[in-house]
Structure 1
């Protein structure tokens, strides 16, 4: 079970509880200012996630206040592309949760702006990997938002931006740290999420528990 101090004992990382849902909603509201309101998680969504898949919901607190959170569901590897709302059962996860699924799908990770840049996201990815090991899962799947596209949207298409990312010609505030945290590129997801700053796109990636495990899929 995750319940330990991290980063020189300054923070506590643990599984989320239903009573955390209000603070998790606050973190969400601070983290995604350009995301369409229909895709913003609220306290009811978070509470349901904790009910459906308690092992996969994580928070980080400092001095009793939640400063970061992460939400997931358990699934089989997605064979077909879908939108964020389709993939998440319109944010509820009830219908997409597969109790004996082989993968953990991370649908949200947020860190309050004032606590970014110190490694909290990396710690949450590590914690999720520990949960994957405990549950015997193959690893994590994420769809990382190409949030840096907004700065170059007048210079290139989202497809060109993704191509530059895979060639390491550009860095992205979300995708680059995720890849540095061990996530491996699968493919871009166009028209995945309703966020103009990300070009409405994301990058499907995975992080296996066993570093010697590789998906037998075509990568670009």
Structure 2
């Protein structure tokens, strides 16, 4: 079980329990106000995630109050593109989870808005990486939400947006911190998630346990 103090012991990262589900639902609602309601995780989803893959569900708390949460499942590297709902088994992960899968797929990472900018998401990704090492996984996979792309959608394609991020022409509130945390880009995903702020797009990324690992298989 994971239990780690971060930021001068002010915050605690630990494995989630079913009793956390209501607070995790609140974090989800506050973090994704423009995400379509059909794609928002609720308390029942979180409870099922904990049942299916307890090692992969973590929360961030301060003084006993949950201010962040993250949900994952195990899988093998996908062989075809899918939407957020398709890849997550309609948010339940039951049929998406592969008990002996080689990768940890992160479908959610949320920090309450008032606690952003402290590096807490990076701390949570680091803890997830530690879990990957303990389980003998190759690393993490995510579809990072391009939160800044919605404002640029009429001016450039998602590929052009990603290139602009790569040359640091500007930053993205979600993807830039994920890159700093250690994630590497694989490819952009059109119409992956129902969120106009993200331009309905995401970027498929991986974070290998072995720094020397180079992903050869790209969709």
| TM-score, L = length of structure 2 | 0.96
Aligned pairs (5 A) from 1:54-203: 54-203=54-203
Match of 2:2 in 1: 2
Match of 1:34 in 2: 34
Alpha-carbon shift at residue 2 of structure 1 (Å): 1.2
- Map Cα deviations across residues 190-213 of structure 1 (whole Å, 9 max, x no partner): 010001111110000000001011
SS class of match (2:148): helix
Alpha-carbon shift at residue 38 of structure 1 (Å): 0.4
Match of 2:216 in 1: 216
Stretches of 4+ moved more than 4 A in 1? Answer: none
CA–CA distance in structure 2, aligned partners of residues 154 and 200 of structure 1:
13
Alpha-carbon shift at residue 158 of structure 1 (Å): 3.2
CA–CA distance in structure 2, aligned partners of residues 84 and 135 of structure 1:
25
Distance 1:217 1:167, change over 3 A: farther
Contact 2:146 2:199 in 1 (8 A): yes
CA–CA distance in structure 1, aligned partners of residues 98 and 206 of structure 2:
18
Contact 2:158 2:188 in 1 (8 A): no
- Map Cα deviations across residues 138-159 of structure 1 (whole Å, 9 max, x no partner): 0000000000112323433334
SS class of match (1:177): helix
CA–CA distance in structure 1, aligned partners of residues 117 and 65 of structure 2:
18
Number of residue pairs the alignment of both structures matches:
219
Alpha-carbon shift at residue 177 of structure 1 (Å): 0.7
Which consecutive residues of structure 1, in runs of 5 or more, have no partner in the other structure? none
- Map Cα deviations across residues 152-182 of structure 1 (whole Å, 9 max, x no partner): 2343333432332344333211111101111
Aligned CA-pair RMSD:
1.3
| TM-score, L = length of structure 1 | 0.96
- Map Cα deviations across residues 6-49 of structure 1 (whole Å, 9 max, x no partner): 10010111000000000000000000011000000000000000
SS class of match (2:47): helix
